[in-house]
Structure 1
Amino acid sequence: MGAINRLYRRGRFFVRRVAMFDRERVMQFARQSAKLSKAPVWWVALDMAYCAVRYETTFENYSEWDFRILKRRERKTYMTDPKSFHLSRRLNDDAQRGIFDDKLQFAARFGDELGREWVDVREIDDAQLEAFVRRHERVISKNPGGVGGNGITMRDTAQIDDIPALRAELLETGQVLVEEVLVQHPEMARLYPGSVNSLRMVTYRDPDDEVHLLAAVLKVGNGGVIDNFSNGGMYTMLGEDGRALHAASDEEGHPFETHPITGVELTGFQVPLYDEILALVDRLARRVPDLPYIGWDIAITPERPVVIEGNHNTGVFQSKPSVSGIRRGLLPRYRAAMRF
């Protein structure tokens, strides 16, 4: 029965993917993957469809983790976005998801671990907003329900001279959460000073109250003001000591041994205050017992690590084989921790 249910789930997922089929985007991923082998693009597209059913990959997953060059036994080791989604739906309490879907709820719940001042524009007047703005050199405004770095604007407060107009704009655009911009640790700023370079730490708290770290990721901006992979950023995986295991890669699969703007070497980069980061995510995971599977975005200030946000339906991060030489995914690690 379990095998039948799995096949049904995979088939249903594939049908949904076909229904949302964007031919040009799929062919973009197929062409990108075809560069790794001598196979024609049409054959790669067929293999992408096969992997969508057999391994529950998205077309993005197929390209991001170089499925074209992986053997069957290697493909079977990869966690994928659909598998992660199924786990999130099964493990995390639907009724509690608002804590993470609404950044204002998150700020209220985890305020002592944020390390930054914030306001809800709907709850203050012009005078209070002006006092907040004048206390900080830069502020960032967010749509509380935004995802993937969307609905975010960075502002230099010296250029803000009309507070009522600013408040009206924030209310109109829905960017009602305004925060001071974190000053990051000098080592993190050395990587790339244009964005807050963060970590994605994926945790699972098991029924025995042990917190497992499933993935540790270093995200780095590259020309923009945010470090998100979908907005031009790059990432690399971290080892148990917080050191980058290999070069970083961006959404198009470009490898970066060194940062193209700052020239800082990415391979082997040591994340500062890593023991404190591990302690922080352990504390965070224990604060939401009804949501045991979470991806935490962590920033590092000169004094301590702080939490940016949590993701109850976290994306999946793994080493890219053509960049790292690592041809084994994190599915066995997830299975060992979650006992499935």
Structure 2
Amino acid sequence: MGALDRAYRKARFFVRRVTSFDRERVVQFARQSARLSKAPLWWVTLDMAWCAVRYEATFENYSEWDFRILSGRERSTYMTDPKSFHLSRRLNDDAVRAAFDDKIEFAGRFQGELGREWIDIRSASDDDLAAFLSRHDRVITKDPSGVGGNGIQIRDSADLGTAADARRTLTDAGQVLAEQLIVQHEDMARLYPGSVNSLRVVAYRDPDDEVHILAAVLKIGNGGIIDNFSNGGMYTMLGDDGRALHPASDEEGHAFAVHPSTGVEITGYQVPLFDEVKALVDTLARRVPEMPYIGWDIAITPDGPVVIEGNHNSGVFQSKPSVSGIRQGLLPRYRAAMRF
């Protein structure tokens, strides 16, 4: 990509940010950054705008990775959400995206790696739906097109009533995918038993058929039934051996060296079966060659890791400098693997 193309892309991104300006959100992120550096709010806001142009960093990226306290050289090492989006659009085939956007289509394509039973409420017969609910005391119901953990609910099967009642209730809620609940490995449950604490493993399969793990993230619930960062959860980065590199942080920037509910130490926590996780990701990455750049959500059960879903436009995860002390992002790692 030439310099003119890069300049155009950055200018277009900045214009989009300005036209979609959400003053309340911008002020929220600016205040978080101002508290960190003691800089005036107006100065932080101007710096956020500058980083949107210079580094293609969203206002959320600026706050999440403490850009306010980083030097220009350090800022330039961070992969940002817009940069990741550009890579996804360039590398992944539009014609195959539906297999990842629709959770029911994904379940059918990756049946062998799901490790759990599921049913499509729309097409299941009353007998099949009744049998499914009779086999599982509790189920998780999902909106097939939901993102960020939205449209997900855990239900007692008995409360759903007959198959006809269940179909009506779930169809009205838009939750037409029902799944058997994942039982997580006891070591993962020890962190926080209220949600399935999953991994996000961002992988790239290169033209030479080598699968690179670009980032491995431990996501942990904190008060809710899901572990998503945008729904109250927290995350920490993992080393190549599956050990947590530093405390976890949440969307508000709070640091957690130990989990506030369970008292389990997060820093240095060893994810179980991590070699098996990497092997599963390698298998998954080869299943859809048209989509080489995917963020895989993985759960670890007593029988081994299973896939939850794949994200063709994966969010970016990196260490938060004020929590970890690490002041370098993952852009060099992405560049080395993707050769750009």
Q: TM-score range by the shorter chain?
A: over 0.9
Matches within 5 A, 1:11-30: 11-30=11-30
Following the alignment from structure 1 to structure 2, what is the Cα–Cα distance between the partners of residues 306 and 279?
11
TM-align CA RMSD: 0.9
**Residue in 2 aligned with 1:270?**
270
**Residue in 2 aligned with 1:209?**
209
Residue type of the alignment partner of 1:45? T
**Residue in 1 aligned with 2:78?**
78
**Residue in 2 aligned with 1:334?**
334
**Residue in 2 aligned with 1:108?**
108
Q: TM-score, normalised by structure 2?
A: 0.98
Matches within 5 A, 1:145-156: 145-156=145-156
Following the alignment from structure 1 to structure 2, what is the Cα–Cα distance between the partners of residues 312 and 325?
30
Gaps of 5+ in 1: none
Following the alignment from structure 2 to structure 1, what is the Cα–Cα distance between the partners of residues 127 and 29?
51
Following the alignment from structure 2 to structure 1, what is the Cα–Cα distance between the partners of residues 194 and 43?
41
**Residue in 1 aligned with 2:258?**
258
CA deviation vs aligned residue, 1:156-208 (integer Å, no higher than 9, x gap) = 22433344222101112221110000000000011111111100000000000
**Shift, 1:325, TM fit:** 0.3
**Residue in 1 aligned with 2:302?**
302
- Please say which of residues 145-154 and 77-86 is displaced more in the overlay: 145-154
CA deviation vs aligned residue, 1:125-170 (integer Å, no higher than 9, x gap) = 3332121111112201111111111111111224333442221011
Residue type of the alignment partner of 2:249? S
SS of aligned partner of 2:194: coil
Percent identical among aligned pairs is: 76
Following the alignment from structure 1 to structure 2, what is the Cα–Cα distance between the partners of residues 262 and 182?
20
CA deviation vs aligned residue, 1:93-128 (integer Å, no higher than 9, x gap) = 000101100111111110000000000011113332
Following the alignment from structure 1 to structure 2, what is the Cα–Cα distance between the partners of residues 88 and 43?
33
2:252 is the alignment partner of 1:233: no
SS of aligned partner of 1:178: strand
Matches within 5 A, 1:56-135: 56-135=56-135
Following the alignment from structure 1 to structure 2, what is the Cα–Cα distance between the partners of residues 135 and 264?
33
Residue type of the alignment partner of 1:184? Q
Count of paired positions: 340
Following the alignment from structure 1 to structure 2, what is the Cα–Cα distance between the partners of residues 64 and 9?
23
Residue type of the alignment partner of 2:288? V
- Please say which of residues 172-181 and 318-327 is displaced more in the overlay: 172-181
Following the alignment from structure 2 to structure 1, what is the Cα–Cα distance between the partners of residues 314 and 89?
11
Q: Is the 8 A contact 2:130 2:162 kept in 1?
A: no
**Residue in 1 aligned with 2:37?**
37
Following the alignment from structure 2 to structure 1, what is the Cα–Cα distance between the partners of residues 19 and 311?
26
Residue type of the alignment partner of 2:17? R
**Residue in 1 aligned with 2:195?**
195
Residue type of the alignment partner of 2:147? V
2:242 is the alignment partner of 1:242: yes
Following the alignment from structure 1 to structure 2, what is the Cα–Cα distance between the partners of residues 123 and 160?
18
Following the alignment from structure 1 to structure 2, what is the Cα–Cα distance between the partners of residues 324 and 130?
49
Following the alignment from structure 2 to structure 1, what is the Cα–Cα distance between the partners of residues 149 and 2?
38
**Shift, 1:38, TM fit:** 2.2
**Residue in 1 aligned with 2:285?**
285
**Residue in 1 aligned with 2:10?**
10
Following the alignment from structure 1 to structure 2, what is the Cα–Cα distance between the partners of residues 62 and 173?
36
Q: Is the 8 A contact 2:188 2:300 kept in 1?
A: yes
Following the alignment from structure 2 to structure 1, what is the Cα–Cα distance between the partners of residues 162 and 125?
14
SS of aligned partner of 2:37: coil
- Please say which of residues 241-250 and 161-170 is displaced more in the overlay: 161-170
Following the alignment from structure 1 to structure 2, what is the Cα–Cα distance between the partners of residues 140 and 132?
12
Following the alignment from structure 2 to structure 1, what is the Cα–Cα distance between the partners of residues 282 and 72?
35
Q: TM-score, normalised by structure 1?
A: 0.98
**Residue in 1 aligned with 2:171?**
171
SS of aligned partner of 1:105: helix
Following the alignment from structure 1 to structure 2, what is the Cα–Cα distance between the partners of residues 128 and 283?
31
Q: Is the 8 A contact 2:218 2:238 kept in 1?
A: yes
